[in-house]
Amino acid sequence: KQEVTQIPAALSVPEGENLVLNCSFTDSAIYNLQWFRQDPGKGLTSLLLIQSSQREQTSGRLNASLDKSSGRSTLYIAASQPGDSATYLCAVSGANNLFFGTGTRLTVIP
């Protein structure tokens, strides 16, 4: 069964820093990989979707990369802001399911 791991579990950075969140998965036979943001007590907001044939996707200050053969993805956040504080989840898509990591809780200190 697919296993998804996110490291670190928590990260605290000063405002303005660039940062990288990591995601690894055990089975490279994925359809796509999606990064989500979750604020406390709220639902998931999709940030970026990378198809299995793609290497990266960008949206504003966010850039996600995918190396399917090594089972890794990174989410790069440029010039972090306090409003970026949230839990970030990566999920890989199988045939009928998304497999989630347990997330990285990010705190950006003003």
Partner 1 sequence: DVKVTQSSRYLVKRTGEKVFLECVQDMDHENMFWYRQDPGLGLRLIYFSYDVKMKEKGDIPEGYSVSREKKERFSLILESASTNQTSMYLCASSRQGANYGYTFGSGTRLTVV
Q: List residues near partner 1 by CB under 8 A.
A: 31-32, 34, 36, 41-46, 49, 51-52, 89, 91, 93, 96-98, 100-103
- CB of 89 vs partner 1, minimal distance in Å: 8
Structure tokens at 90: 């990566």
Residue type, 19: L
Pick 48 or 80: Cβ nearer partner 1: 48
What 8-state DSSP symbol labels residue 73?
E
Report the alpha-carbon angle 7-23-49, nearest 5: 140
Pick 90 or 108: Cβ nearer partner 1: 90
Residue with tokens 């990288």: 20
- CB of 91 vs partner 1, minimal distance in Å: 8
